[in-house]
Amino acid sequence: MRKILIETSRVTAFRQAIGVVEDTVKGYPGIMVVWGYSGRGKSSCIEEYAVSSGALYLYIENQLTPLVLLQQLCRELNGMEPHRKARAKRMIIEELDDSPRTLLIDEADKLCIHCIEHLRDIHDLTGIPLVLIGEPAIYGKLHARTRLWSRVTRTVEFGPVTIEDVIVLGLKACDLRITPEAARMLLKRCKGDFRPLYHDLRDLEGIAASNNLSVIETDMIQRIPERRIKPRPEKEIR
């Protein structure tokens, strides 16, 4: 199975929206919010864009203090980790003034509001496009503060996987033609999440190869092994 990014409607919407914020004149709002539940393809889209565009990508692993956030950004830009917030922020601003880059913050919903305010300052002072990516909580967190929300010029929601996504992914990643009926069954199994869909397609790829088949019918979906076996209830002790 090939690792690819399929051009879903959400990916297309992302490309269009980021084109707008990257074309914003310095001094005007240029913050973008990308939101959706886990497994909807946000991070894959963002990572691919960072590689192809040279944007600065930062993944938030855990809740960070403002100092640690600024240190991580500084390290990505110039390899340094100042011990004071003011110095770290000043260095970030100087670096981005000299070499402007779009700033992509993944898992931004984990950030406290003080960290987001520091990112807003950096955006205001440098004019660089700021893209905040996260689960739905990021949308509400920004919307609750007028001075943050007023700077958001584009939002993109990554919704659930669609039947078209299933069919296109099967064809492009596995060279498998999935019938609409089989695609509906896969969609029901994955519950809108790309991650279990990838696992199912890998299983189908193996089943198809061992049977010299290239078309996935409904009967093949039933042959996919269950990965989450329910525990058997213990027998009653008499």
- Cα 165 from Cα 37, distance rounded (Å): 17
State the Cα–Cα distance between residues 85 and 71, nearest whole angstrom. 8
The model's pLDDT over 163-191, given as tens digits with 9 standing for 90+, comes to 999 999 999 999 999 999 999 999 999 99
9-157: CATH architecture: 3-Layer(aba) Sandwich (3.40)
Mean pLDDT, residues 143-155: 91
Number of Cβ within 10 Å of residue 229's Cβ equals 7
CATH match for 163-221 among 1.10.10, 2.40.30, 3.30.300, 1.10.8: 1.10.8
- Sorted by where each begins, the domain ranges of the chain are 9-157, 163-221
Angle at which helices 66-78 and 85-98 cross, to 10°: 40
Tens digit of each residue's pLDDT (9 = 90 or more) over 20-54: 999 887 778 889 999 999 889 999 999 999 999 99
